[in-house]
């Protein structure tokens, strides 16, 4: 991703250079979503494991099999293509008889669980994701202690909440797409959205990098907007108090950066936490790889954690 800036790291230089995603089996993502199924209703909820397939394509295959529109398929979030991912989909039942999912077939996709529910699965309904990632390198011997120390710092203090490189597309092409949108060029809605998101994400990452260099990415400042951990709730910081500082140190609240407004096309400003909590982080050695496991809140990127550890 040489077309992107090398945004500042909070924890120092990467410990070693490694390979990730050597095969889909090296990058496993499991969605975390708590739901009580009604047992009836017009939607089938499916627990799907996919390998080497993107979420939107899987949704299209499910819709085709059920004989419904792709708009009738719901999922909580987009998951990595070059990985094994496990996530929920909902599909509207075309009739009271429902759909025979035992006969569903699509390359790299398996439906392993099915429930009936009253409502469609909405975007952002999940709590987050669990990641299991293999870091494969040639010179990893003797690094166990350093890795332990770095992971402890991440567990205690989080990491800068950068948007990952996948937000910007191959060779950062989504940024140019966004600039073309602002210049007035017309695109389909989904491409337009991708370009706009990339532009705003670039500005957010630049702002966050400046705060990392200043050493304030994990501190609440006067006139900041603060985010309540694990929620979309934000509030203005008009006065800095000892209580707010303590809550920030305990990762209960985080300072926010800005996803800028694009007035020309009617996009309003929004806020995103500058810091990301990393939960249940640990590792083990298997053969020639370090295997990491950790949990992230929705909207966060595993590669943002990895860049504080390794170059890949």
Domains, the chain, ordered by start: 16-24+128-311 (3.30.2350.20), 34-117 (3.30.2350.20)
List 72, 80, 224, 229, catalytic entry? 80
User: Looking at residue 83, what DSSP letter applies?
Assistant: S
Q: How far is CA 253 from CA 185, 190, 233, 250, in A?
A: 40, 33, 10, 8
Which DSSP helix (H) or strand (E) runs through 133?
strand 128-136
Catalytic annotation on 214?
no
Q: What is the pLDDT tens value at each position of the chain, 312 positions in all?
A: 458 999 999 999 999 999 999 999 999 999 999 889 999 999 999 999 999 999 999 999 999 999 999 999 999 998 988 999 999 999 999 988 899 999 999 999 999 999 999 999 999 999 999 999 999 987 767 788 999 999 999 999 999 999 999 999 999 999 999 999 999 999 999 899 999 999 999 999 999 999 999 999 999 999 999 999 988 899 999 999 999 999 999 999 999 999 999 999 999 999 999 999 999 999 998 877 899 999 999 999 999 999 999 998
Question: Parallel, antiparallel, or unpaired for β 225-228 and 73-75?
Answer: unpaired
- Residue 210: count of CB within 10 angstroms of its CB: 14
Question: What end-to-end distance do the CA atoms of the chain give, in Å?
Answer: 10
pTM of the full structure: 0.91
């Amino acid at each position: 991703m040489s077309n992107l800036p090398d945004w500042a790291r909070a924890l120092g230089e990467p410990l070693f250079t490694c390979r990730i995603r050597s095969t889909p089996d090296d990058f496993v993502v499991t969605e975390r979503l708590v739901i009580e199924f009604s047992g009836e209703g017009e939607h089938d909820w499916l627990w799907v494991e996919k390998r080497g397939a993107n979420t939107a394509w899987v949704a299209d295959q499910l819709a085709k099999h059920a004989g419904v529109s792709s708009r009738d398929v719901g999922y909580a979030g987009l998951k990595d293509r070059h990985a094994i991912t496990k996530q929920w989909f909902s599909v509207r039942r075309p009739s009271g008889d429902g759909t025979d999912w035992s006969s569903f077939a699509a390359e790299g996709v398996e439906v392993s669980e099915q429930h009936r529910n009253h409502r469609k699965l909405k975007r952002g309904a999940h709590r987050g994701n669990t990641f299991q990632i293999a870091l494969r390198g040639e010179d990893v011997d003797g690094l166990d202690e350093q890795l332990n120390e770095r992971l402890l710092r991440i567990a205690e203090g989080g990491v800068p909440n950068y948007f990952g490189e996948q937000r910007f597309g191959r060779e950062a092409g989504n940024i140019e797409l966004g600039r073309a949108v602002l210049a007035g060029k017309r695109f389909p809605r989904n491409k337009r959205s991708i370009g706009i998101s990339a532009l705003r994400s670039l500005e957010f990452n630049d702002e966050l990098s400046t705060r990392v260099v200043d050493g304030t990415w994990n501190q609440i400042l006067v006139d900041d907007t603060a985010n309540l951990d694990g929620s979309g709730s934000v509030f203005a910081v008009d006065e800095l108090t000892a209580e707010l500082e303590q809550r920030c140190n305990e990762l209960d609240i985080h300072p926010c950066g800005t996803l800028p407004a694009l007035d020309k096309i009617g996009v309003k400003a929004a806020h995103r936490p500058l810091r990301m909590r990393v939960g249940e982080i640990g590792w083990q050695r298997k053969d020639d790889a370090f295997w990491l496991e950790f949990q992230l809140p929705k909207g966060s990127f595993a590669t943002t954690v990895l860049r504080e550890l390794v170059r890949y």
